[in-house]
């Protein structure tokens, strides 16, 4: 096969569009077709699995004896995980009456029981509600109240929290060492009968609920359908096939020859599985027969040991985590198995890209853009495409449309900045709970709250976020939520919370406050008071008293961009 010269950006994009046409045309593996969803026409992959369980069962059939999950207790194969999922499904059905459409909550750290429970719920056609296991007790109580579940499967630590916040009585514990009066997963597995043949669910019924922070401060449940997940899985395969065909043209090697020696994507799972990026890591690994290695908590030295021991090929996590992993002693040798690094969950600081290029120059760095409301990435760039367009987040998925609109909702031309809106087979069905904002799903378009533009090649670029959200180490933090906690003491005349760049976390939380007359409080006292209501990752890293009066416009609206600029100017001056 003849090698192609892909040094010119225009040639790179022409090559990409040619590959895209090859893969999505009628009869091709990634053919797209119009489908009706709730009265709207969206594009969907023709060959997408009809439901979530069908997708994962296919991976079990293909890779049954491969190790699927390695956690601190050992390893389990694809067959073992799916066998346990089947028996747990039967027990949930027989003991608790769980069936199609019923909700089953999952609240635990990353471990083998997570996919077992997730797939058991999917096999029943029920809805898996992925509660944030890192939330405070108050936040957990809110999530349970907003999106209640018939049963919650949790690890011992979360069982105690759930009991403390008066959660539903029907709890299942992951460990036999949990409370005596709470049945353990192993007990249910022992009782589990025959789950019966799987009957695919309605593609447009809900299969997953994940939570995302919003500007209202209270996390919202995002309802993803079986069709969404089927498209997510096939879209991952599409991106992988594009990369193979790009490399084939670049190096003059036949596609089948390249595919034959490409390793499976075996990720170090840094993101929690209740996070959309954690779910993506699980599905990416499964789609190639890879091993997913979990960690109870982030420790860069231990992470390097795991990569070296299991010859892992993918490291995806917050930029902070990727940077700390690559900073370990002898990283170039010990981490040489990594062929793909994907810092994500937030903007990628330049220092992380530089470290990847320095430590593992042969590894591919990939970037993307997506959100909980799309089940993961809607656009991705890596390899030769990212080299040609280093600032882009990639072209849109074949099942997705994107437009850029001004403040009035009018589309703007290429190159002009506006809010990005999305439409297509990856967009979630709705929000659940009282914090839901139906206006975000406007006329079948998702208002992302992200500001950006499209270039002449229809590549996506992000320049800012209009949503008042801080992303620290991949975790979404609502400014309004933190402000509400601080203001609850009634000691401040005004409070504003905002994010500032941080080399390690990506962003960190800063609070600007004006004390009421006669009130005296130190920064340490303010943070300690907030600790009673907020988890550690949401606490302000800095309290500033010297930014008052806070900048406001003529109507009294706080100008956070100006406040942030004022902070940065004073920080630089000092």
Residue among 479, 452, 455 at smallest CA distance from 467: 479
- What is the mean pLDDT of the segment spanning 408-432? 95
Closest residue by Cα to residue 561 from 469, 480, 498, 512: 498
Whether 176 is covered by a domain: the verdict is yes
What is the domain range of residue 83?
77-199
Residue 554's pLDDT is: 41
How high is the pLDDT of residue 211? Answer: 93
Mean pLDDT of 541-566: 81
Mean pLDDT for the stretch of residues 123-128: 98
pLDDT at 166 over 80: no
Is 451 within the bounds of a domain?
no
pLDDT-derived band at 350, boundaries 50, 70, 90: low
Q: Quick check: is 239 in a domain?
A: no
pLDDT at 305 over 70: yes
Is the pLDDT assigned to residue 251 strictly greater than 60? yes
- 407 pLDDT band, cuts 50/70/90, is confident
pLDDT score, position 556: 46
- Displacement of CA 39 from its chain's centroid (Å): 28
Residue 63 pLDDT: 97
Give domain status of residue 128, yes or no: yes
The mean pLDDT of the chain is 91
Is residue 464 scored above 60 in pLDDT?
Answer: yes
Indicate whether 186 belongs to any domain. Answer: yes
Does a structural domain hold residue 139? yes
The total number of structural domains that make up the chain: 2
Beta strands in 475-528 (DSSP E): 475-478, 492-502, 506-515
Ranges 208-217, 273-282, 349-358, most confident: 273-282
Q: Residue written as tokens 């229809």?
A: 458
Compute the distance between CA of residue 541 and CA of residue 60 in angstroms, rounded to an integer: 45
- Residue 500 has which token pair? 């500032």
Q: Give this prediction's pTM.
A: 0.85
Question: Chain-centre distance of CA 445, in angstroms?
Answer: 20
Residue 265 lies in a domain: no
Does the pLDDT of residue 217 top 80, yes or no?
A: no
Per-residue pLDDT tens digits for 35-47: 999 999 999 999 9
Out of 166, 199, 232, a domain closes at: 199
Pick the last residue of a domain from 152, 177, 199: 199
Average pLDDT over residues 436-443: 77
pLDDT at 434: 74
Better pLDDT: 139 or 96: 96
Tokens describing residue 371:
């959100």
Helical (H) or strand (E) element with 153: strand 151-154
CATH (domain of 522): 3.30.300.30
- Check which CATH number belongs to the domain holding 173 and give it: 3.40.50.980
Which of 199, 233, 266 terminates a domain? The answer is 199
Assess if residue 491 is contained within a domain: yes
Burial class (CB in 10 A: 0-12, 13-18, 19+), 517: exposed
């Amino acid at each position: 096969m003849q090698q192609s010269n892909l040094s010119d950006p225009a040639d790179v994009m022409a090559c990409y569009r040619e590959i895209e046409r090859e893969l999505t045309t009628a009869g091709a593996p990634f053919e797209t077709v119009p489908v009706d969803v709730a009265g709207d026409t969206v594009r969907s992959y023709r060959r997408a699995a009809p439901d979530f369980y069908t997708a994962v069962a296919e991976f079990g059939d293909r890779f049954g004896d491969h190790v699927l999950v390695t956690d601190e207790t050992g390893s389990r194969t694809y067959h073992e995980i799916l066998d346990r999922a089947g028996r747990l499904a039967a027990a949930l059905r027989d003991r608790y009456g769980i069936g199609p459409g019923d909700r089953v909550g999952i609240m635990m750290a990353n471990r083998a029981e997570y996919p077992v429970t997730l797939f058991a719920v999917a096999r029943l056609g029920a809805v898996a509600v992925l509660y944030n296991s890192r939330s405070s007790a108050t936040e957990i109580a809110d999530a349970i109240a907003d999106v209640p579940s018939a049963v919650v499967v949790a690890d011992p630590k979360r069982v105690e929290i759930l009991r403390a916040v008066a959660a539903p009585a029907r709890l299942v514990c992951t460990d036999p060492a949990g409370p005596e009066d709470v049945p353990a997963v192993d007990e249910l597995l022992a009782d589990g009968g025959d789950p019966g043949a799987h009957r695919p669910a309605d593609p447009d019924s809900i299969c997953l609920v994940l939570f995302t922070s919003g500007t209202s401060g209270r996390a919202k449940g995002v309802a993803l359908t079986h069709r969404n997940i089927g498209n997510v899985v096939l879209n991952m395969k599409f991106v992988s096939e594009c990369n193979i065909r790009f490399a084939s043209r670049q190096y003059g090697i036949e596609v089948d020859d390249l595919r034959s020696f490409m390793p499976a994507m075996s990720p170090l799972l840094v993101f929690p599985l209740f996070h959309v990026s954690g779910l993506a890591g699980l599905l990416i690994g499964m789609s190639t027969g890879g091993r997913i290695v979990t960690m109870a908590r982030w420790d860069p030295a231990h992470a390097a040991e795991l990569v070296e021991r299991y010859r892992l090929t993918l490291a995806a996590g917050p930029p902070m985590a990727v940077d700390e992993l690559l900073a370990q002693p002898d990283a170039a040798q010990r981490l040489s198995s990594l062929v793909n690094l994907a810092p994500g969950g937030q903007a990628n600081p330049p220092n992380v890209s530089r470290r990847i290029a320095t430590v593992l120059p042969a590894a591919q760095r990939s970037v993307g853009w997506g959100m909980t409301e799309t089940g993961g990435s809607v656009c991705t760039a890596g390899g030769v495409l990212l080299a040609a367009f280093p600032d882009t987040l990639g072209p849109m998925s074949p099942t997705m449309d994107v437009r850029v609109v001004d403040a009035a909702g009018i589309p703007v031309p290429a190159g002009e900045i506006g809010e990005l809106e999305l439409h297509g087979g990856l967009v979630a069905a709705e929000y659940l709970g009282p914090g839901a904002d139906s206006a975000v799903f406007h006329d079948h378009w998702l208002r992302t709250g992200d500001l950006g533009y499209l270039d002449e090649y229809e590549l996506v670029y992000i320049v800012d976020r209009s949503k008042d959200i801080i992303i620290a180490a991949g975790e979404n933090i609502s400014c309004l939520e933190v402000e509400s906690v601080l203001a609850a003491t009634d000691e401040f005349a005004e409070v504003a919370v905002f994010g500032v760049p941080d080399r390690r976390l990506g962003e960190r939380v800063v609070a600007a406050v004006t004390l009421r007359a006669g009130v005296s409080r130190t920064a340490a006292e303010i943070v300690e008071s907030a600790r009673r209501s907020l988890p550690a990752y949401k606490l302000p890293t800095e309290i500033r008293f010297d930014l008052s009066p806070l900048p406001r416009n003529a109507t009294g609206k706080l100008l956070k961009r100006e406040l942030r600029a004022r902070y940065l100017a004073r920080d630089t001056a000092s």
